Structure 1
Amino acid sequence: MELKDEIRIPASKQVVYDALNDPEVLKACIPGCEELIQHSPTELEAKVVLKVGPVKARFTGVVTLDQAGAPDRFGLSGEGKGGAAGFAKGGAEVTLTEDGDGTILRYDARAEVGGKLAQLGSRLIQGTAQKLSAAFFEKFAATVTADAEA
């Protein structure tokens, strides 16, 4: 499954980049996130509760950041396990481009699911992934905008 989108955030590229690397901001923006622990500058551990169709599960996973192209772009990859519900793994490439007094954030993500989740059908999973992604970025943009104005 692949997801691509972009959003304009009315804040500088550095402010957006810093927020993407702030565990408190991420925890507040990730739908269903119960816990987000930063083990190192490039490794995070998360506990997230998600409902995909009739399946509700608590996922525990690790996300690794690749900051080689920062602050213009960076990558992330991760894997989460949801017990009997199955697993999810994938990654994303994020690019940040200055746009006047704001920043265009583009992402290109890919994910793979297994277990009960995979049995739900790709349209339901794709739709849920798009909805969760949109919810994250809307909340992220609102949070960064409020912080930039403060």
Structure 2
Amino acid sequence: MTKQITVKVVLIVNVKGEVIVDANQIDVWNALNDPEVLKKATPGCKVLNEIAPDSYKAEIVLGIAAVRGEYEAEINIFEKSEPNRYRLVMKADSNMGFLEGNAVVELDYNHPNTTIRYDGEAQVGGLIAGVGQRILSGIAKMIVKDFFKKIAKETKSRSVS
């Protein structure tokens, strides 16, 4: 009799970077805490509902390579130190696998710009993890950078109006 072994692959992906926003720190902070801005900035976000202060449920549809699929996500903001930093925690599940991410987001104001710095990691499991560390790392960095660039764009458009 042959014994079947199941192996679960979980990969760790690190994300770190910065985006410079042509706006003051308070405007950037407000954008990072505005559910409407978060919805617009989150790639593929179709629905974002606040279920408690700083806690959201989201429906996300991604069409990017190995992470293609529909995700149900929970997004939480912790350890707020207004207007300087917070911790962003996200858990997302789909039939392709799961993602659990945790990042510290810091704002540094140097007139006339604010720099958003982020540093975190994500655990990825299921079929998604089967594509490999290098590909997932590239996709994760692209998605995170896109999120913060959209935050910058939304902040700037709100500051101008």
TM-score normalized by structure 1? 0.93
Counterpart residue number, 2:9: none
1:32-56 superposed Cα distances (whole Å, 9 cap, x missing partner): 1111111122211111112342452
Pick from 76, 79, 84 the counterpart of residue 64 of structure 1.
Answer: 76
Helix, strand or coil for the counterpart of 2:81? coil
Q: Is the 8 A contact 1:52 1:125 kept in 2?
A: no
1:76-108 superposed Cα distances (whole Å, 9 cap, x missing partner): 11211112x000002110001111122111000
Which one has more relative contact order, counting CA pairs under 8 Å at least 6 apart? Answer: 2
Kindly name which structure, 1 or 2, has the bigger radius of gyration based on alpha carbons: 2
Q: Which runs of 5+ in 2 are unaligned?
A: 1-12
Are 2:58 and 1:77 equivalent residues in the alignment?
A: no
Question: C-alpha distance in 2, partners of 1:142/1:38?
Answer: 22
Q: Which runs of 5+ in 1 are unaligned?
A: none
Q: Is the 8 A contact 1:53 1:120 kept in 2?
A: no
Counterpart residue number, 2:8: none
Question: C-alpha distance in 1, partners of 2:75/2:149?
Answer: 21
Counterpart residue number, 1:148: 159
Counterpart residue number, 1:112: 123
The residue type equivalent to 2:114 in the other structure is: T
Pick from 120, 133, 141 the counterpart of residue 122 of structure 1.
Answer: 133
Spell out structure 1 runs of 4+ moving beyond 4 A: none
* Root mean square deviation, CA, Å: 1.3
Are 2:98 and 1:96 equivalent residues in the alignment?
A: no
Counterpart residue number, 1:131: 142
Q: Is the 8 A contact 1:14 1:71 kept in 2?
A: yes
Counterpart residue number, 2:18: 6
TM-score normalized by structure 2? 0.87
The residue type equivalent to 1:99 in the other structure is: N
**Distance of aligned partners of 1:122 and 1:38 in 2 relative to their CA distance in 1, 3 Å threshold:** same
